[in-house]
């Protein structure tokens, strides 16, 4: 189907960049997957790949993508703290909001461990402490309140509300169906974010 579509639309797939990922189901996953070819070239089977910056895994877990975001956040926080150490507090807060509150694709996270999620939250809190030169064990809620800056949970709730709003306002039939089914994993997770913390 891919080959026919490409041919009829004047496109050519880059076989070297194409990979095969088989999603595992919870109870019954096929062990023997026949070779899949694209333009006569067998595709390399992988257990994960990065799609538009988001790590997709065969078990549909978001743990690796959250860890990717945690490492990226650590790099951004350290860069801001190092380069702008001499700036005043308001400049630092503005820079933190610009560079450290963008959790790319976090609205898609629904399958992860609490530990993985907490590690990201701790990284976020510690990044702010380092930037603002605050004691290591000072109250996170107090430091964010005093700085009039969203804490980790507020960021996650806002991202979830934003994506829910866009899905509900979409003219796409599949997305409308998704938003109307309150028992799907995404909706359960997004609604849960607004009921906790």
pLDDT digits (tens, 9 = 90+) for 93-143: 999 999 999 898 898 898 899 999 999 999 999 999 999 999 999 999 999
The lowest-confidence range among 7-16, 49-58, 188-197 is 188-197
Rounded Cα distance between 7 and 24, Å, is: 31
Under the banding of pLDDT at 50, 70 and 90, the label for residue 33 is confident
Instruction: Give the three-state DSSP class for 169.
Output: coil
CA angle 151, 103, 128 (to 5 degrees): 40
Per-residue pLDDT, 197: 47
Residue 26 predicted with pLDDT over 80: no
- Rg of the chain over all Cα atoms, to the nearest angstrom: 21
pLDDT for 163 beyond 60: yes
The tally of CA atoms less than 13 A away on the side-chain side of residue 39 is 12
CA distance 104 to 132: 24
Say if CB 119 and CB 70 are below 8 A apart.
yes
For residue 1, the tally of other CB atoms under 10 A from its CB is 5
**Domain boundaries in the chain?**
2-46, 63-195
What rounded mean pLDDT belongs to the chain? 89
């Amino acid at each position: 189907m891919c080959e026919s579509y490409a041919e009829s639309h004047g496109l050519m797939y880059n076989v070297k960049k194409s990979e095969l990922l088989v999603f595992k189901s919870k109870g019954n996953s096929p062990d023997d997957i026949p070779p899949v070819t694209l333009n006569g070239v067998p595709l390399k089977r992988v257990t994960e790949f990065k799609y538009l910056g988001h790590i997709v895994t065969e078990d549909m877990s978001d743990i690796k993508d959250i860890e990717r975001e945690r490492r990226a956040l650590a790099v951004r926080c350290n860069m801001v703290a190092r380069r702008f150490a001499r700036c005043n507090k308001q400049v630092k807060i503005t820079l933190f909001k610009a560079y450290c509150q963008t959790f790319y694709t976090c609205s898609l996270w629904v399958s992860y461990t609490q530990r993985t999620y907490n590690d990201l939250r701790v990284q976020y809190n510690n990044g702010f402490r380092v930037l603002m030169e605050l004691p290591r064990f000072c109250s996170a809620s107090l430091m964010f309140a005093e700085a009039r800056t969203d804490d980790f949970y507020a960021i996650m709730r806002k991202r979830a509300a934003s994506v829910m709003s866009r899905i509900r306002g979409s003219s796409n039939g599949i997305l409308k169906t998704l938003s109307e089914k309150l028992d799907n994993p995404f909706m359960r997770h997004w609604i849960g974010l607004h009921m906790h913390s």
